[in-house]
């Protein structure tokens, strides 16, 4: 039987999650139709802010009000502040950088991971390191399509004052389960990129 364009195969859990997010939503008055691209290169969208009571169990640890787009296990991460030169980002993506230190967050809860990452970033800047590797894992064994630690690392790095840019690592260094991070130059060192 051929499906109608609006019909999809969704699980009962997905339907319940959707219902939790749209609970209390009122339709707009008038004709406010908006075309949304469904191409695979379309940017990911964030979930709308919702109250803690409405959150689905698997996203309770994620701050859904944060403007950072949620990513899935196999998604690549990439971020750069304005002013970071394009060729530097390209070098990072190709893995053509010298990793000076790495941090593995596997097995840590969110509080431990946030504390370790924050301490590691401060120590790295004080040591004058520019390129570090942070291993966050893919979260592929979670029930959620949105790995909690990977998404939190994405949020934390974007918000950290010493981080200039980051991107997912090459497969031989963790792939989409790790990120190369470019740190600001310490004012106490005279190293150059």
Residue 190 lies in a domain: no
Residues ≥6 apart with Cβ < 8 Å to 13? none
Number of domains making up the chain: 1
Task: Provide the strand spans (E) within 51-142.
Answer: 78-80, 101-104, 131-135
Residue 90 lies in a domain: yes
Residue 136 lies in a domain: yes
Q: Are 56 and 17 in contact (CB under 8 A)?
A: yes
Residue 13 lies in a domain: no
- pLDDT tens, per residue, the chain with 193 residues: 555 555 566 778 777 777 776 677 666 555 444 333 334 444 433 333 333 223 333 334 555 555 778 999 899 999 999 999 999 999 999 999 999 999 999 889 999 999 999 999 999 999 999 999 999 998 867 677 789 999 999 999 999 999 999 999 999 999 999 999 999 987 654 444 4
Residue 37 lies in a domain: no
Residue 45 lies in a domain: no
Indicate which CATH number applies to the domain containing 115: 3.30.1370.110
Q: Are 70 and 150 in contact (CB under 8 A)?
A: no
Q: Which two tokens stand for residue 20?
A: 């939790």
Q: Are 74 and 162 in contact (CB under 8 A)?
A: no
Residue 68 lies in a domain: no
Residue 55 lies in a domain: no
* Burial class of residue 109 in the structure, from the number of CB atoms within 10 Å of its CB (0-12 exposed, 13-18 middle, 19+ buried): exposed
Residues ≥6 apart with Cβ < 8 Å to 159? none
Domain hosting residue 78, numbered range: 73-183
């Amino acid at each position: 039987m051929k499906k109608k364009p609006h019909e999809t195969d969704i699980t009962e859990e997905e339907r319940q999650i959707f219902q939790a997010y749209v609970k209390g939503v009122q339709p707009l008055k008038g004709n406010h139709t908006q075309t949304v691209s469904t191409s695979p290169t379309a940017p990911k969208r964030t979930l709308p802010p919702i109250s803690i009571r409405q959150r689905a169990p698997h996203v309770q640890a994620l701050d859904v009000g944060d403007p950072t787009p949620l990513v899935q296990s196999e998604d690549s991460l990439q971020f750069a502040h304005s002013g970071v030169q394009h060729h530097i980002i390209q070098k990072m993506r190709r893995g053509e950088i010298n990793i000076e230190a790495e941090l593995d967050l596997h097995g840590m809860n969110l509080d431990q991971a946030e504390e370790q990452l924050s301490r590691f970033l401060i120590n790295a800047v004080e040591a004058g390191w520019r390129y570090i590797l942070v291993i966050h894992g893919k979260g592929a064994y979670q029930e959620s399509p949105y790995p909690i630690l990977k998404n939190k690392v994405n949020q934390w790095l974007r918000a950290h004052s010493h981080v200039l840019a980051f991107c997912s690592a090459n497969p031989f260094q963790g792939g989409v389960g790790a990120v190369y991070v470019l740190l600001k130059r310490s004012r106490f060192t005279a190293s150059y990129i």
